[in-house]
Amino acid sequence: MNDDVYLDNNATTMVDPAVVDEMLPYFTLQFGNPSSIHSFGNTVGRSLKKARQQVQDLLGAEHDSEIIFTACGTEADSTAIMSALKAQPDRKEIITTVVEHPAVLSLCEYLEKDGYTVHWLKVDGKGRLDLDVYARLLEERADHIAVVSVMWANNETGTIFPVEKMATMAVDAGVMFHTDAVQAVGKIPMNLADSDIDMLSLSGHKLHAPKGVGVLYLRRGTRFRPLLRGGHQERGRRAGTENVASIIGLGKACELASQKMEYENVEVKAMRDRLQEGILSAVTHCFPTGDVENRLPNTCNIAFEYIEGEAILMLLNKAGIAASSGSACTSGSLEPSHVMMAMGIPYTAAHGTIRFSLSCYNTMAEIERVIEAVPPIVAQLRKLSPYWGENGPIEDPAKLFAPTYA
């Protein structure tokens, strides 16, 4: 029996066994190309339609034609933003946030170098946006802004943004609105039919489907330009033969996520809260980051002062516990994450942030094991830290760190 504890579900999730079972026939028995007119293709085509409806149901979309299958969330993000720009060539400005996932952040930085203007919305110490600043931007620059792209929930802290309200504000100003909902889909209820969101991105491997499949939700009537051209697949909106087995798996995963939504928001949330409470009560000089009153039910990001997060992760891994020091896409950097920097987390703590992200497969017994393992690990590392003395932190540890960031 595997006794390891996996608490890195915001990086990727285990494929649900029921999802695997649903996928298997499409590698062997049902191998037809859904674009073909013969029975092999028609059978698979009907299965793709069912998967599209399963995704539609989870998102609360109005019609299954609004679901475009992609290779990943990153492709969906790029497609949404680039489409908005190409469909409105006279508009050269974008609004996004400083805490976006690199899938959006890097693209916007590239577009800035290519001559576009990007308005970067800042966050406060809890990772919250100032909607007054956002409203002023829309009022002053609406005729120049092609798209607003704001994540539904932050991948590091779990902080949830008011994207539905922001979408209404954008649409009222005549501006397209996109949200990277990769972390939020399957964890919190959504009803896109009753929202003003024009485009939404999701990724299969964040909700117990396989890697290599994602979705772009495109509200009917939204102006659109394909990123990938070549074939007629996905109603001409995304060329390339469909990744059938993975799409089938994603459909099943969406169906299961709908069924487990209440469990996620009650039982998983209770495990997360117990984990946070247990660590904070046993370890001094640590604190949760982000908006703890308004976050995903599975996410807890704790900053441990005066030690390095990478060292904590190594010792946790040795103890059979998997967690993360932030976004998996930015791991390996010696700098604190851009999310921690944006929130102004003190340098003495920003290096020591650990993200614990749970799933419905975790148990309270596993949580208790982590609570027991963390305090001695932190104590061991602080004994080796030049910033920690016999009686706690040294008088002015900031002097030993690199200059603080703005």
**Catalytic residue set:** 329
- Quick one: tokens of 347? 């340098």
Per DSSP, the residues of 354-400 read EEEE--TT--HHHHHHHHHHHHHHHHHHHHH-TTEETTEE-S-GGGG
Q: How would you classify the pairing of strands 321-322 and 299-304? A: unpaired
Helix axes 39-59, 244-263, angle to 10 degrees: 30
DSSP string, 41-100: HHHHHHHHHHHHHHHHHHHT-S-GGGEEEES-HHHHHHHHHHHHHHH-TT--EEEEETT-
**CA 130 to CA 91: how far, in whole Å?**
24
Q: What is the DSSP string of 261-310?
A: HHHIIIIIHHHHHHHHHHHHHH-SSEEE-S-TTSB-TTEEEEEETTS-HH
Provide the 8-state DSSP code for 8: B
Those residues whose C-beta lies under 8 Å from the C-beta of residue 92, and which sit 6 or more positions away, are 115, 116, 117, 144, 146
Q: Which residues of 346-355 are buried (b: 16+ CB within 10 A; e: fewer)?
A: ebbbbbbbbb
- Do the bridges between strand 286-288 and strand 299-304 make them parallel or antiparallel, or are there none, so unpaired? antiparallel
Residue 197 CA, chain-centre distance (Å), reads: 17
With a CB cutoff of 8 Å and minimum separation 6, the contacts of 83 are: 199, 223, 224, 225, 226, 227
Nearest residue to 278 (alpha-carbon basis) of 184, 344, 351, 372: 372
From the DSSP assignment, how many helices (H) and strands (E) are in the chain?
13, 14
The residues, ordered by sequence, that sit 6+ positions from 211 with a Cβ below 8 Å of its Cβ are 12, 72, 204, 205
CA 131 to chain centre: 21
